[in-house]
Every structure is written in structure tokens, then in C-alpha cells.
Structure 1
Amino acid sequence: MLNTLYLLAIPVLLIIYNICGYLLRRPGQKLPYPPGPRSLPIIGSLFDVLTPRTGLDTHWAIYRDIGNTYHSDVLHIDIFGDHTVVLNSAKAAEELLERRSGIYSSRPTMYMANESGLGWNFGTMPYTSWWRLHRRTFQQHFRSDAIAAYHPYIRQATSRLLRSLSGIQSTTMVTQYDDLQAIVRQHAASIILYTTYGITEKEDMDAFIELVNNAAESINATAIHGSFLMDYFPLLRYVPAWFPGAHFKRKAVHWAQSTSELVNKPWNQLRASISSGTAISCFGTKCLQKLNLTLNAADATEDTSDLGMSKAASDTKMEEVIRNCAGTAYMAGADTSVSLILISVLVLSHHPEVQAKAQEELDQVLSSAANSSQLPDFSDRGSLQYVEAIFKEILRMYPGVPLGLPHCSIADDVYEGYFIPKGTTVVGNAWTEPQSGTPSSKHSFNPDPELYAFGFGRRICPGRHLALDTSWLVLACILATCNITRISSDKSKEIDPIADFADGLVAHPQPFKCCIIPRSASAFELMKSGYEVGVRMEA
């Protein structure tokens, strides 16, 4: 009897909650909302957002198409009084998320992400002193000038990637997507595991790579506002996992287990390695050394004074901050580089003429170096302007994190005569840049794609410098040693890779086929030797 009453009470409570929310959120202002789908009483634009669509459609493409329908780069979507504003141009995103960052730097409450155990990820936190402490701790070690310290290991990992590519070449020289993706994931995860936790053993690497692959599914699925009805119906978080139709809750329970293991297992291993004296210098050890291993009371007070903590409490809290930052880096860093590299291979497979021009530049720059027959290095980047243009154009055409994480307005605002109420979820859609032309059409970009391919304003991804350096080196090395071509059928007709993308926070291309062929016998040998032979280091 009680179970029956409980089952009946939940939908009734949901309806009452959302009707009340709708009535309370109706603004009394006279200015209109931005253009968007027609809002019906109570349910708003629910049917427009939930319109059946193919599995290949993505949120960023849907937002782009709605913008085209209403001829506006700023859209308003209302579902049960939950306001979402989508910014479909760099101009609108820069004005609101950059210039008015004091209003738009927070996050909406991400109910499904929190239910999935992601509350420790500071990327999902609202704009508070607790978030600022995380951001400050993280950025000290991952800002652009700090990444150079990791370049030697990035070279080693790139050498392993090239050797793996050379080893999977079959008699038909076809690189299978699953093989390519596995190699790229191994590469990206090995770099972030080393820089964050100092993990280098292959057995540990394999276990933690599988762990992050499982956990990354949670943030990819939950970070886009509206992916789950819980974003609009917060009371759904109280629905038990056994409730009929509560598959979302069962997913949350599963993801919460994976995310808990992700943030705790490598951290516990790091703490054990410190205790045994075998720890390698990395983000975790450097932060812990600054804390209680070499931390004085003044340092602790400085870092946590805005949280109103005592010295005893601050040490415990600061270790939690460091653990959270390490987990955030681990989760994000193991996925964003994968997306960038796979997208680069996919796009370049369509443009042999671009590869040829880039290879001409690479051959000229590398042959003029003190040691010839070298792989491109970070010290060559300033001389490889065409390769740099390719990299930036790919970022512009296919940003790895198209929508970023959602922002939230903390005050009423007006933009170009449109009203944006306090509490509105604001989404910057970087995918609305035209995906036309070749990936090297220009050498200068305004705005720089690096500034919006990883989020906006104060919430731009602080780990982007590592992802960009890692991906650039792979792109340059593959171009220097290989030709990327599309597959030919039995009738010698080229087959295009599938240029569709899976929906989620990070853009991943659907499986595609291509050939990655060494340019010559000497290039093949260079892929096998990597940077171990005659590597040139920056001054």
C-alpha cells in the first residue's frame, strides 16, 4: 500500500513543483526574452526540445539550426520556467561571458552530474570561494608557462604513439578506427597520469586508462543542460533506482561508483608512493609538498582565509582541494586530447593538398636544423606557421568542447534589448562557426579559436594548454612522417570517413576508416625511433 502511494505521489509532486516554479519565475519586466521556440503555458518549449531526432544529431547542431530558424545569434528556450539562453556567435559570447563575466561566471545546479558523483569536479561547481580555491590551485601548475616542464614526457609519449602507429600497419596499410582510438587514448591518458599523479608503470597505466574511459562517460552525458529531465525536474533525484522508468537513476548510481574510483584510486596510490619514498615529481606531489609536508601556517591561512577556516581545518580541506583538482585534470585531460587528435586525422584525410603543403614546410624547417631528419619539436613551432594555421583552423571548424559547460546568470541582465533573468542557464555554442573551406585557409584568426574551443571567460578550461601542446605535437609528427588518406573500395572509388559526431560534452567523431601511411622508408624508421635519437631540446 505504501509503495503504491509513493508511486502515485511522485508524479503529482513533480507537477506541483513545476507549476509553482513556472508561476514564481514569470518575470514582471516589460522587455522581451530573446527569440526562440514558442513557449506554451507551464510546459514552455518542451515539445520543441524533445522533438524526435536521429541519433546522429547533437545539441550544438540543434542549437545552431534553431538559431538559423529564428535568424538570431541569441536564443531563449523555456521549459517549465527553466530559462536557457544559447549564444550562437563569438560576438554574443564575448560580450556576455567575457566582458560581463561578473554576472555569467557561475554554473547552474547540475543535478544529474551531482547525482552521478561529480560534485568534486571543480568544473561543475558554482562561482564561490570554494571554486576559486580549486581554480587557483590548479592553474598554478597548468598555466601556459608551466606546461614546458612536461614537454620531455610529452615527447616520450609521442614517440610511443608513433611506434604504435607503425606497428599496426597491415599489408593493406589500413588503420582501423578502434586501433587508432586505442592508441590515441593510451597516449593522452599516459601524459595526464604522469603529470598529475606521477604514474608511469604500464600495468597501472592500463588499469587507470580503463577507469577514466568508464568515468568520462558520466560527464560527457550529464554536463549538457537538458540532457536529462532531472535538469528541469530536480525532484527526480529523489526517485529510487528501482522505480519503473528510472533508468536515469540507475545510470547515476553506476556512474557515481566509477567517478568515486576515478578521484580516489590514483590519489590513494600517490599517497602510498609518497609514504614509501617512490613518488615521482608531479602535480600531486608538488601541491602536497606546499601543504603540510613543507607548508607553514601562513601559507595555509593565505590559501583558505576566504573560506573562514582554521589552520587545522584548512590542511584537511586543502588536501581535498588538491585531490579534486587532480581528479578533474585526470578526467578532462584523458578525453580532450583524444578528441582533438582524432578530429585532426579525420579532417586531414579529406585534404591531401593541405598535407602536401604542410609537409613541404616541415621538410624545409627540419632540414635546416642542426641535426637533419628530425621529428618536429616545440622549439620549431614558431617556424611552422602553416602547420600552426592548420591546427587553429581545425579548432575553429570542429571545437573539441563545442558547448563548454553551462554558465548561469547571477543577476538580471539586458542584451541588445532582450531580457535575461537571474538564474538563466547560458550556453556558448562554439560549433556555429562555418565548417567550410580547407583547414588551412588563413594564418591569422580573430577571435583566436583557442579562446572559445575550451569554454569562455573565467570558466575557460584551465587545462587547455596541456591539451593544445599535446595535440599540436602529435599533429606535427604525423604530418612529418605520414600521409593520411581515405579508404579506396574494391572499385578504386574513395569512401569518405563518416563526418558525424557523437553527442556529449566532448566532440568525438563517429567511427571512420582511413590510411596512415609512412611517407618513406626513412620516415618509417623515424616513427620507430621517435625522439630517442638525436632529440633537440628547447633552450
Structure 2
Amino acid sequence: MIQTHQHLSFSILSILLGVVLLARRRKWLNRLRGCVLPPGPRGLPVIGNLLDLPNTDQPWKVYDDWAQTYGDMVYTQVMSTPMLLISSANIAFDLLDKRSAIYSDRSVSVMNELTAWDFNVGFMPYGQRWRSIRKKVHEYFNLTVTPNHRDTQTEEVHAFLRRCLAHTGKELHPLFIRQLVAGIIANTVYGIEIKDMNHEYIRLVTQSREVMDTIKQPGNFWLDYMPLLRHIPTWVPGAVGVKYAARVRPTVEAMLNKPFDTIKDEVDPKDSIALDMINRLKEVHDPERRAIEERCAKDASAMAYSAGSDTSYSLIQIFLCAMAAYPDIQRKAQEELQAVVGHDRLPTYEDRGSLPYIQAIFLECMRWRPIVPLGVVHRLMEDDYYNGYFIPAGTLVVPFVWRMLRNPQEYSEPEKFKPERFIKDSALNPDVLDPNSLAFGFGRRICPGRYFAMDTAFMAMASILHVFNVVPSLDKDGNQLNPIPRWIGGHVSRPDSLHYMLYSRSGASEKLVHATATT
């Protein structure tokens, strides 16, 4: 009897879903009469290209095949939702920057809501809540304010150097890098010091970002394409997304709430962005308004904490892999550091303008292994036309950053790590397409914390190269392991393994690092 009831429930839901999709499809087809859509793979009736979505740990490879087959604009249909894959930087600039007034929306994500990740402005639909949260993030991380955080960034980088000295000659564990970036963000945003790799907040942000990576990997869950599935009982096979969300939601909520609430309860909290927001709340006397403002402050804090820790974490891993794999490039960077910084001190932010090769290494890290290879999806708010093609309202526009940053017409030999491509006459070459203009997003959706991320990366890269040599790890027989791993991931890419070690370059540099513990 129970089994019959289960089959009946699923059958009724399937019929209702089919009716809704057919009605939407008929309305959509009426709008398309006489219009030309961009090319793309042929889909199936009703579900479209749902089964073509790449359910793999390297989804960009599937999209790259599509781009090679169909061109720089690839159109697909997933259920009733149109999707457009953009593989050209010029097209991305034309649509997402120049027409940002109609390309700045995001789709409503059921998985974001169910897992509590709907606080993230990067994935939030265009509207008042998005504007409020983004305004707060921008207020504390814009180009003018970012230098205020450099003392904290420098202190955390120096602490990282000290930990690495104690670990010299051993394969560097990923948690060393996680502690570095989480320490910078947690200290800046919450005034919390991350003193060891087992700290609760490292666990929370690591596990929460794994959730984000899982729900943003195409093909993992169908809920975002068939929202009605959220109402299916958990015993039905189609409820896998609901089950997963129920399991991981408490972790994401803890990352969102716990650090902020801890500061509220402390008697004498350390100065931080969150504390400044909390102090401002005391000036809001209307309870309802204050509750809204507090939620906005909490969301903005968690947004900075989670997003910043993950992207910087991946970027520093890419940098270390590249240095171990390309010793000549590492040596050239160290020669530049030696000429500018010398033996008697560690690098500072004031050295940045005199270190064009270090800056070029940063740019090449951003290009060589894009941190967010599929970009962040935009949603078109009204019908549009481009290069003779019709793009219907509601289209999800995927900026395929991985392919843009590997375009051989922009970057020769894209598979090679070549910082020299950004150098001309011993300075940065302004004629080469800046990877930052692609990697940090487009238009009104550009990353508000990009300047902070760039500051963190510069200080970490310059300091590591000034103090250490980065070399490949050894296997049990003493042979060097390949330091270039296989990159995987859904939303944020990451190496599936790490094989590099740090060795101190000199006793003088070790003394400089140890001296930072008392300053």
C-alpha cells in the first residue's frame, strides 16, 4: 500500500511538472518565431539539454568541446531555462559590461536557499537585498579603504613564514595555506586570531565552501532546473538534493552566524569590520529596521569571510605549484626581489611598484589556472539581440573564463606558465589583456573584494619567494614528484594533490622571519 502511494505521488508530480514545462515551452516558442538563436547541441523534448550538462570534476572540458564545435556563443536549453555559454572576452565585455543594465541579474537557486548559501551576493538575484549587502562589502573593501587592512595581512603572512620555517624540507600541507588565508580574513572581518590549523572556523569555512562547490557543479542536482522537486518526499529518488541540503545546512549556518554572534557576546572584542557594523547597529532604534540591518551586516561579513578565503586559498596553491614546476621563473623573481628589497628586510607593499616581475607572476597565476573557470552565471532580464542572434529574456549567461584566459590569440602558448607575456621594457605591458578584467567578474557583478585579494596575493607571493625556495616533493625513492597536479572543481577549481616543499634560502632570511614574532 505504501509503495503504491509512493509511485502515485511521484507520477502525479511528474505529470504536473510536464504540464508546466510544456506550457512554458509553448509560450517561449511563440516568442521565438522568426528569430535566430545561437548554435548549440541539440536537446531532447521537454528536458532539452539537461542530460548534456557535464557531471564531471572538470566541467570546463565539456564546455570547451562545445566552444570548439559551435563557436564563441553556444546556446542550450535546460528544461524551460535557456542558457548561453560565452567563450570570447570581447563578447563578455559587450554584453556583461556594456549592457550590464539588463545582464546583471542572477537566477533564483533552490539549492542556495536550501543549503543557506543564499546570503552570498555573488549568487543573489538583482534587487534591494543584493544592493544593501554589496554596498556594505564595498564600503570595507574598496580601493581607497583596502590599504587599512595591510597591517593585518602582513602580520598573518609573517606568521605563515614562521610556521613554514618549522616545517622546512617537508611537503607543505594544504591546511598551512588555509590557515594563512582564513587567518587574514577572520582577523580582518571578525578580529579573530587563527592560531592553529585545527581552529573551528577553518573547519567551518572549508566545509561550507565544499558545499558551495558541490551545489554549483553542473549536473550534480536538478533542483535549480526543476524547483518543484523540492516538494518531493525524501524517500523519492529525485529528492537527493533535498537530502543533501538538510545534511549540510547546519554547517553553513554555523559559518554564517557563529563568528558574528561571538563578537556580539564578547565583553571587549578586538577591532574588526564586524565590530564596526555591530556598533553602528546601536544607532538604529526601530526594532524591525535593526533586525534587517543586522541580517545585512551578518551576511556581508560572512560573504567576505567565505569568498575571500577560498579564492585566495586556490590562488596561492596555483602560485606554489608553478614555482616548483618552473625553477627558472622562480629564480628570476628572486633576483628581482634581491635587487629591490635586499638582505636586510622583508618585502612591503611599498615595494610593489618596483617589482613588475612579481606582479606578472600574479597575473599569470590568474590566467594559467583560472580560479573560477566557468565564471559566475548572469541572468538576462529582457530580450536582447547580438551579432544577428536573438537572446531571450531569462537566459542564463555563462562567462566561460577558462577558455577566455586560454585564447591563443590573446596569450601565446596558453598551456605554458609565462609571466614574461605581461612584461615589456622591464614594466607591465598595458597592451596585453589583463586577466583580472575577466577573473573577477563583469559589470555590476564584479567582485567587490578584488583589491583585498590582490593585496593578499602580492604580500604572500613576494614574501615566500624572498625567504624560501619552492621545490617539488620527493617520493619514497628520492625521485621528484610532478608538482603540476590535475585541477578539479565545480565553482572554484583546486588541485587534487600538492607536491612541493619549502626550503629556507639563507640564515639571514630566517633571522628576518624570526624577528617578526617580536614586532
TM-score (norm 1): 0.87
Indicate whether 1:86 and 2:79 are aligned: no
From 322, 336, 342, the counterpart of 1:361 = 336
From 439, 442, 446, the counterpart of 2:418 = 439
Q: Structure 1 residues 316-325 or 204-213, which shifts more?
A: 204-213
Checking the alignment, whether the CA contact within 8 Å between 1:107 and 1:408 is kept in structure 2 is: yes
Q: Report the counterpart of residue 448 of structure 1 in structure 2.
A: 434
Q: Structure 1 residues 329-338 or 97-106, which shifts more?
A: 329-338
- One-letter amino acid of the counterpart of residue 422, structure 1: A
Shift of 1:203: 7.7
Q: Structure 1 residues 484-493 or 474-483, which shifts more?
A: 484-493
| Structure 2 counterpart SS, 1:414 | strand
1:223-372 to 2 correspondence within 5 Å? 223-224=216-217, 226-244=219-237, 246-273=239-266, 276=267, 278-293=268-283, 312-367=287-342, 372=343
Indicate whether 1:410 and 2:396 are aligned: no
Checking the alignment, whether the CA contact within 8 Å between 1:106 and 1:410 is kept in structure 2 is: yes
Distance (whole Å) between structure 2 residues aligned to residue 133 and residue 142 of structure 1: 15
Indicate whether 1:14 and 2:17 are aligned: yes
- One-letter amino acid of the counterpart of residue 64, structure 1: D
Q: Quick one: structure 1 residues 385 and 242, their matched pair in 2 at CA, closer, same or farther if it must change by over 3 Å? A: same
Shift of 1:475: 0.8
Checking the alignment, whether the CA contact within 8 Å between 1:224 and 1:405 is kept in structure 2 is: no
Q: Deviations over 1:158-200 (max 9, x none)?
A: 111111111122xxx2414xx2x10111111111111111112
Q: Report the counterpart of residue 453 of structure 2 in structure 1.
A: 467
Q: Report the counterpart of residue 175 of structure 1 in structure 2.
A: 171
Q: Deviations over 1:9-66 (max 9, x none)?
A: 333333333333333322334232112112333232234335xx7x54x222322221
Indicate whether 1:188 and 2:181 are aligned: yes
Distance (whole Å) between structure 2 residues aligned to residue 429 and residue 100 of structure 1: 18
From 499, 502, 513, the counterpart of 1:513 = 499
Q: Report the counterpart of residue 301 of structure 1 in structure 2.
A: none
Q: Quick one: structure 1 residues 456 and 60, their matched pair in 2 at CA, closer, same or farther if it must change by over 3 Å? A: farther
Q: Quick one: structure 1 residues 201 and 419, their matched pair in 2 at CA, closer, same or farther if it must change by over 3 Å? A: closer
Shift of 1:268: 0.9
Indicate whether 1:385 and 2:356 are aligned: yes
Distance (whole Å) between structure 2 residues aligned to residue 29 and residue 94 of structure 1: 28
Distance (whole Å) between structure 2 residues aligned to residue 523 and residue 204 of structure 1: 25
The root-mean-square deviation of aligned C-alpha atoms, in Å, is: 2.3
| Structure 2 counterpart SS, 1:232 | coil
Shift of 1:364: 0.5
Distance (whole Å) between structure 2 residues aligned to residue 226 and residue 24 of structure 1: 26
Checking the alignment, whether the CA contact within 8 Å between 1:399 and 1:454 is kept in structure 2 is: no
Q: Structure 1 residues 423-432 or 211-220, which shifts more?
A: 211-220
Q: Report the counterpart of residue 62 of structure 2 in structure 1.
A: 62
Distance (whole Å) between structure 2 residues aligned to residue 400 and residue 492 of structure 1: 32
Distance (whole Å) between structure 2 residues aligned to residue 313 and residue 208 of structure 1: 30
Q: Report the counterpart of residue 303 of structure 1 in structure 2.
A: none
Checking the alignment, whether the CA contact within 8 Å between 1:366 and 1:375 is kept in structure 2 is: yes
| Structure 2 counterpart SS, 1:515 | strand
Shift of 1:205: 8.1
What percent identity do the matched residue pairs reach?
32
Distance (whole Å) between structure 1 residues aligned to residue 293 and residue 28 of structure 2: 38
Q: Report the counterpart of residue 24 of structure 1 in structure 2.
A: 27
Shift of 1:225: 5.5
Distance (whole Å) between structure 2 residues aligned to residue 113 and residue 195 of structure 1: 26
Distance (whole Å) between structure 2 residues aligned to residue 316 and residue 493 of structure 1: 59
Q: Report the counterpart of residue 45 of structure 1 in structure 2.
A: 49
Q: Quick one: structure 1 residues 88 and 270, their matched pair in 2 at CA, closer, same or farther if it must change by over 3 Å? A: same
Shift of 1:233: 1.2
- One-letter amino acid of the counterpart of residue 37, structure 1: P
Indicate whether 1:480 and 2:455 are aligned: no
Checking the alignment, whether the CA contact within 8 Å between 2:218 and 2:490 is kept in structure 1 is: no
Q: Quick one: structure 1 residues 491 and 67, their matched pair in 2 at CA, closer, same or farther if it must change by over 3 Å? A: same
From 212, 230, 235, the counterpart of 2:205 = 212
Checking the alignment, whether the CA contact within 8 Å between 1:162 and 1:530 is kept in structure 2 is: no
**Long gaps (5+) in structure 2:** 407-413, 424-428
- One-letter amino acid of the counterpart of residue 320, structure 2: V
| Structure 2 counterpart SS, 1:266 | helix
- One-letter amino acid of the counterpart of residue 440, structure 1: P
Checking the alignment, whether the CA contact within 8 Å between 1:117 and 1:255 is kept in structure 2 is: no
Shift of 1:494: 4.2
Checking the alignment, whether the CA contact within 8 Å between 1:113 and 1:218 is kept in structure 2 is: no
Distance (whole Å) between structure 2 residues aligned to residue 414 and residue 224 of structure 1: 29
Q: Quick one: structure 1 residues 60 and 456, their matched pair in 2 at CA, closer, same or farther if it must change by over 3 Å? A: farther
Q: Quick one: structure 1 residues 204 and 365, their matched pair in 2 at CA, closer, same or farther if it must change by over 3 Å? A: closer
Checking the alignment, whether the CA contact within 8 Å between 2:232 and 2:238 is kept in structure 1 is: no
Q: Report the counterpart of residue 120 of structure 2 in structure 1.
A: 121
| Structure 2 counterpart SS, 1:78 | strand
Q: Report the counterpart of residue 419 of structure 1 in structure 2.
A: 390
Shift of 1:7: 3.5
Q: Deviations over 1:463-505 (max 9, x none)?
A: 1222221122111111111222224557776432343212221
Q: Report the counterpart of residue 488 of structure 2 in structure 1.
A: 502
Q: Quick one: structure 1 residues 223 and 287, their matched pair in 2 at CA, closer, same or farther if it must change by over 3 Å? A: same
Distance (whole Å) between structure 1 residues aligned to residue 154 and residue 160 of structure 2: 10
- One-letter amino acid of the counterpart of residue 323, structure 1: K
Distance (whole Å) between structure 2 residues aligned to residue 328 and residue 240 of structure 1: 32
Distance (whole Å) between structure 1 residues aligned to residue 433 and residue 189 of structure 2: 31
